[in-house]
Amino acid sequence: MNSPKRSIYLNILALCLGLIISVVLFELAARIYLSMGNQTAIVAKRAVKGHVFPPEEPLIQPFWAKTRAPGALALTRRQHARISRMVTRKDVQPDWLNLRNNNFGFANPTDYPYQRSNSEEVIVAVFGGSVAKWLYLFSADQLVALLQRNSFFKGKEVTVLNFAFAGFKQPQQLMILSYFAIVGQPIDVVLNIDGFNEAALSSQENLDLGIDISMPRSYPGPMKRLLAGSDAETLLWNAKRAELERDLETMANKKSSSSAIFRLLDQVRGNLLERRLEGHLRTVPQYDTDHDKGFFTLPANTNKSRHTYHGEIVDQWVRASKLMANISHEIGATYIHILQPNQYFTNHTFTSREKEIALTPNSKYAKGVRSIYPAMVQRIRTEATQGYVIHDAVEIFDKEARRVYADVCCHYTDIGNDLLAQFIAERILMKLGDSGKIESSSDDQHRSRPEPHVIVQP
């Protein structure tokens, strides 16, 4: 073989070997990356393979504005995508992915009113928005286990019931408790977890739309879309959403490749589709409430300043809480109110991955939280001096090095939910337990805490 030909063959051979080595290295790198806890999305998506998801729009509920269809899957497609960011520990395998709504549309395996199975059963009822609902799903078992370590609860059956729903804010929690107190739902502990929706949604989705803070978020937009969604803009929006959801379902149901490279590419494509869908859902068509003649909407008083309204949001939040405490007392229940932590008012040190997931420039939620949460914390301190306790959980993630936030709104990872469950268990035991209570810090009302700083940059 002459020298030029030999040189060409050697170059071709070297190129082939280089390609083979590159593919092997890429395959190895992809396997390492996927083995580092980044496959949860695939698990979550495949768990719902073949299911027909309920529509994103809520149903009308005559007492507290909205609910989901009884008997339908409790978790929507968007929520299953969120689970992929919430599960961080390999030992966590949610057994509630296929949970269906009960007769009132709440994510709970039993219908309401739920009756005690025996006189020793303790019923804990969880109220609030989506943070409270996710705490119920992720950490109800953890909460029960922590309570049962105490002699007060030892040997007793503890049942946790969910009355929380995405987007709920006061006075919806108050109205739900009132309704179930009227229809005879037994409750021993009323657990209200809120604050974020009152601060963020009352400002961004009520005042900014000219709607009074006492109304449900964005009311009556979702109801109007449900009953009169045939205008051209809404039809086009729904068609685009359906297209993105079909593409995402195709990705979720795709047979897994034996190659880590292809699995990683599928995950990247799936994540891009999820982001496109989430972005599209944020562009939902809005309606001029002046033309919604079929709905009563209390307008905001435009003569008031934004600062005045922010003070009224805090006032309404406290008044509703006190009324829940009064109702709880009337039905023989203990009332526990928790101000939930969030990433826009915190001293938590974010991991680089957490910053990417949980922080966004110019967040639509951050403005209201920055303005209202300091007033909530100050009001908690003032109320404590007068004997009324709201437990401030804002700082519970401050010393946690692991990722606790799961998205740009306010939701927590499995780790964050368990930390909140521990904080709640300690507060319940401070109220009901004895000297055998689980290890806990002193009462949060008397701790000194540095003023939180605000994080808004990614």
DSSP assignment string, 224-282: HHHHS--SHHHHHHHHHHHHHHHHHHHHHHSPPPSSHHHHHHHHHHHHHHHHHHHHHHT
| Alpha helices (runs of H) in 36-171, residue ranges in sequence order | 40-46, 77-86, 130-148
**Separation between Cα atoms, residue 367 and residue 365, nearest integer Å:** 6
Whose tokens are 């190129």? That residue is: 15
Inside any domain, residue 52: no
Among 158, 157, 150, CA closest to 438: 150
Residues 203 and 352 grouped into a single domain: yes
Strands 122-128 and 391-392, by their bridges, are unpaired
Residues 31 and 137 grouped into a single domain: no
User: What number is the average pLDDT over the span 107-115?
Assistant: 96
Residues 175 and 312 grouped into a single domain: yes
Mean pLDDT of the chain: 81
| DSSP letters for 162-221 | E---TT--TTHHHHHHHHHHHTT---SEEEEEESHHHHHHIIIIIGGGTB-TTSPTTTTH
Residues 25 and 121 grouped into a single domain: no
3-state SS, residue 82: helix
**Separation between Cα atoms, residue 173 and residue 189, nearest integer Å:** 14
Of 349-358, 390-399, 424-433, 447-456, highest mean pLDDT: 390-399
**Separation between Cα atoms, residue 219 and residue 298, nearest integer Å:** 10
Q: 162 or 237: whose pLDDT is higher?
A: 162
Residues 18 and 150 grouped into a single domain: no
User: What is the domain count for the chain?
Assistant: 2
Domain span holding position 179: 112-210+300-446
Tell me how far the alpha carbon of residue 107 is from its chain's centroid: 13
Residues 189 and 317 grouped into a single domain: yes
User: What number is the average pLDDT over the span 424-439?
Assistant: 74
Which band of pLDDT confidence, cut at 50, 70 and 90, is reported for residue 49?
Answer: very low
Inside any domain, residue 147: yes
Inside any domain, residue 254: no
Tokens of 158: 């503890």
CATH of the domain at 334: 3.40.50.1110
Inside any domain, residue 269: no
- pLDDT tens for 267-285 read 777 778 778 877 887 776 6
Give me the sign of the Cα torsion angle 109, 396, 367, 371.
positive
Residues 308 and 183 grouped into a single domain: yes
pTM: 0.75
Strands 65-67 and 189-194, by their bridges, are unpaired
Inside any domain, residue 42: no
Side chain identity, residue 280:
H
Inside any domain, residue 259: no
Q: How crowded is the C-beta side of 318, counted as CA atoms within 13 Å? A: 21
**Separation between Cα atoms, residue 196 and residue 341, nearest integer Å:** 8
Residues 197 and 314 grouped into a single domain: yes
**Separation between Cα atoms, residue 76 and residue 94, nearest integer Å:** 15
The answer to whether 179 touches 63, Cβ cutoff 8 Å, is: yes
Side chain identity, residue 49:
K
Of 45-49, 296-300, 313-317, 349-353, highest mean pLDDT: 313-317
Inside any domain, residue 452: no
Report the pLDDT value the prediction gives residue 58, as an integer from 0 to 100: 64
Residues 415 and 327 grouped into a single domain: yes
The answer to whether 162 touches 192, Cβ cutoff 8 Å, is: no
Residues 32 and 146 grouped into a single domain: no
- The answer, yes or no, to whether residue 115 has pLDDT greater than 70, is yes
∠ CA(69), CA(74), CA(80), 5° rounding?
Answer: 135
Query: What whole-number percentage of the chain has pLDDT above 90?
Result: 46
Report the pLDDT value the prediction gives residue 6, as an integer from 0 to 100: 65
- The answer, yes or no, to whether residue 455 has pLDDT greater than 50, is no
Inside any domain, residue 53: no
End-to-end CA distance of the chain: 61
**Separation between Cα atoms, residue 350 and residue 333, nearest integer Å:** 38
Sheet architecture: strand order including 189-194: 158-162, 122-128, 189-194, 334-339, 391-392
CB atoms within 10 A of CB 13: 10
Residues 314 and 398 grouped into a single domain: yes
Residues 430 and 335 grouped into a single domain: yes
- pLDDT tens for 320-376 read 999 999 999 999 999 999 999 999 999 999 988 899 889 887 888 998 999 999 999
Q: How crowded is the C-beta side of 331, counted as CA atoms within 13 Å? A: 24
The answer to whether 446 touches 381, Cβ cutoff 8 Å, is: no
